[in-house]
């Protein structure tokens, strides 16, 4: 008797919620073995990893700040992934958004009017979208694969930012160090609570997630995206333009990633630096799939992944665990989350199958 998987008819409503919990529990169990083997008290590590970072209002605010760019990028990417457009260059689009919006902030100068902030937001949306327009154009016009073009453009974007902060946008009073002037306070994102760094970007990201949900569920373009992703042939028959959807999904993804970039530089950072993102654009790809490409799922996945980064910092500070151990633990968490997803659409059966059902 061997266990095997049998497709469910549709998805299991219960498993949608059970599997993430199951995955976290399994991760904790395996992690405990790892931590014990390295000579640490598993309970203390797990507490420091999952609970301590969010045991204060400040911690919760930090969690939200960390999750905001991940959620924004992931939502943008999820449109494309649903339509089988493989944009993996969100990091570059984020960078261009930061350059466009941040450049405007620098141009506005020290006594900038508050009205520059909305302009910066628009600039960042346009900047990110423009960077994503290159893969879109090359794909629709020359059939060039977007995996390669979007990835390569990420490196180009980061080097462009490096050039700007080492060169023309360098702070003239900054002893030639590679960073721009600080943005004027008036163009920074307003803070929401005293004593934390929680900024206006977080609720905007939340609103955008809800909007994305509405688009995918209620609007015709959402329906088209889903059809193209599931059965490209049917889309052709139904007369949807794959070309148009390529443009729409890539531009949306680019714009939201660009916005994420602006929220970093006009939020917690407050200036342009050579490195503005610790790889949010790449991590967001995982967030998008962990959230099952669903805007609300992405919100939760973004918070969980953000927590895993905060937890990684906390176990270093509180228990002296090296970052490498957090990386291994984080990898395990992702493995279990991704693997347990199987139970949503399949059930485990023992023995030979009698009836085989269509995959849901």
Partner 1 sequence: MKTSFIKRGAIWLGAAAVSAAMTTAAWAEPLKVGFVYVGPVGDHGWTYRHDQGRKAIDKAFGDKVKTTLVESVKEGADSERVIRQLAASGHKLIFTTSFGFMNPTLKVAKSFPNVRFEHATGYKQAKNVSTYAARFYQGRHIAGLIAGKMTKSNVIGYIGSFPIPEVVRGINATTLALQKVNPKATVKVVWVNTWYDPGKEGAAAKALIDQGADVIMQHTDSPAAIQAAQERGVWAVGQASDMTHFGPKSHLTAIIDVWDNYYVARTKAVMDGSWKSDDTWDGLKQGMLQMAPYNAAIPADVLAMAKKAQANIIAGTVHPFAGPIKDQMGKEKVPAGKNLDDGSLLSMNWYVQGVQGKLPK
Partner 2 sequence: METLTAVLITVIGAATPLVFAATGELVAEKSGVLNLGVEGMMLLGAVAAFAVALTTGSATLGILAGAAAGAALALVFALLTLTLLANQVASGLALTIFGIGVSALIGRSFVGVPLQRLPQLDLPGISDLPILGPLLFSHDALVYLSILAIPATIWFLERSRAGLILRAIGENHQAAHALGHAVIKVRYLAVMFGGAMAGLGGAYLSLAYTPMWAENMTAGRGWIALALVVFATWRPGRLLLGAYLFGGITVAQLHIQGFGFDIPSQFLSMLPYLATIAVLVAISADGARARLNAPASLGRIFYPEA
Main-chain phi, psi angles of 275, to 5 degrees? -125, 115
Quote the tokens at residue 64. Answer: 């939200």
Q: How far is the CB of 345 from partner 1 (least distance, A)?
A: 36
In the bound complex, what is the minimum distance in angstroms from residue 11's beta carbon to partner 1? 36
- Position among 227, 228, 272, 290 found at the interface with partner 2 (CB under 8 A): 290
**Whole-number Å distance between alpha carbons of 42 and 329:** 12
Give the one entry of partner 2, partner 1, none that residue 267 binds, where binding means its C-beta sits below a cut-off of 5 to 8 angstroms depending on kind.
partner 1
Task: Please name every residue paired with 346 in a beta bridge, in sequence order, or none if there are none.
Answer: 7
Sign of CA dihedral 127, 278, 182, 189: positive
Query: Three-state DSSP class for 157?
Result: helix
Instruction: Record the tokens describing residue 129, joined without a space.
Output: 């979208």
For residue 37 the two structure tokens come to 């083997």
Listed ranges 99-107, 162-170, 211-219, 256-264: which one lies at the site for partner 2 (CB under 8 A): 162-170
| Cβ closest to partner 2, residue 218 vs residue 352 | 352
User: Which residue stretch of 58-66, 118-126, 213-221, 328-336 sits at the interface with partner 2 (rule: CB under 8 A)?
Assistant: 328-336
Distance CA 60, CA 53 (A): 8
Pairing of strands 346-350, 3-7: antiparallel
Q: What span, in angstroms and rounded, lies between the C-alpha atoms of 76 and 68?
A: 12
Helix (H) or strand (E) run with residue 259 in it? helix 242-264
Least gap, CB of 303 to partner 2 (angstroms) = 17
Which position has the token pair 């600080």?
A: 182
* Distance in Å, CB of 237 to partner 1, minimum: 47
The verdict on 160 binding partner 2 (CB under 8 A) reads yes
> Is the distance from CB of 351 to CB of 88 less than 8 angstroms?
no
Q: Rule CB under 8 A: which of 247-286 touch partner 2? A: 282-283, 285-286
Q: Least distance in Å: CB of 68 to partner 2?
A: 20
**Site track for partner 2 across 121-150, x = CB under 8 A:** -----------------x---xxxx-xxx-
Residues 31 to 90 in contact with partner 2, rule: CB under 8 A: 81, 86, 88
Per CB under 8 A, residues contacting partner 2 are 5, 7, 81, 86, 88, 138, 142-145, 147-149, 151-153, 155-156, 159-160, 162-163, 166-167, 282-283, 285-286, 288-290, 322-332, 334-335, 338-339, 341-342, 345-346, 356, 358-359
């Amino acid at each position: 008797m061997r266990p095997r998987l049998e497709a469910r008819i549709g998805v299991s409503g219960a498993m949608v919620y059970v599997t993430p919990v199951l995955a976290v529990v399994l991760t904790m169990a395996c992690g405990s073995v790892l931590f014990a083997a390295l000579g640490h008290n598993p309970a203390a590590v797990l507490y420091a990893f999952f609970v301590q970072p969010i045991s204060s209002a400040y911690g919760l605010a930090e969690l939200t700040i960390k999750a905001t760019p991940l959620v924004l990028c992931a939502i943008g990417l999820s449109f494309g992934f649903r339509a089988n457009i493989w944009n993996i260059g969100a990091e570059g689009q984020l960078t261009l958004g930061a350059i466009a919006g941040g450049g405007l902030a620098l141009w506005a100068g020290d006594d900038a009017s508050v009205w520059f902030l909305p302009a910066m937001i628009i600039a960042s949306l346009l900047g990110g979208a423009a960077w994503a327009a290159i893969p879109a154009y090359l794909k629709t016009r020359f059939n060039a694969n977007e995996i390669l073009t979007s990835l390569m453009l990420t490196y180009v974007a980061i080097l462009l930012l490096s050039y700007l902060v080492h060169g023309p946008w360098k702070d003239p009073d900054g002893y030639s160090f590679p960073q721009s002037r600080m943005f004027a306070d008036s163009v920074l994102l307003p803070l929401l609570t005293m004593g934390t760094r929680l900024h206006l970007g977080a609720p905007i990201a939340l609103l955008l997630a809800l909007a994305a949900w509405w688009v995918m569920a209620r609007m015709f373009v959402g329906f088209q995206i889903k059809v193209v992703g599931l059965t490209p042939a049917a889309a052709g028959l139904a007369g949807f333009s794959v070309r148009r959807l390529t443009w729409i999904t890539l531009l949306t993804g680019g714009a939201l990633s660009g916005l994420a970039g602006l929220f970093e530089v006009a939020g917690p950072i407050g200036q342009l630096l050579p490195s503005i993102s610790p790889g949010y654009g790449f991590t967001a790809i995982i967030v998008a799939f962990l959230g099952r490409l669903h805007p609300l799922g992405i919100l939760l996945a973004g918070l969980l992944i953000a927590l895993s980064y905060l937890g990684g910092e906390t176990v270093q500070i509180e228990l002296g665990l090296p970052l490498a151990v957090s990386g291994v633990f984080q990898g395990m968490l992702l493995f279990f989350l991704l693997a347990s997803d199987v139970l949503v659409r399949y059930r485990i059966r023992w023995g030979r199958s009698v009836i085989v059902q269509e995959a849901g």
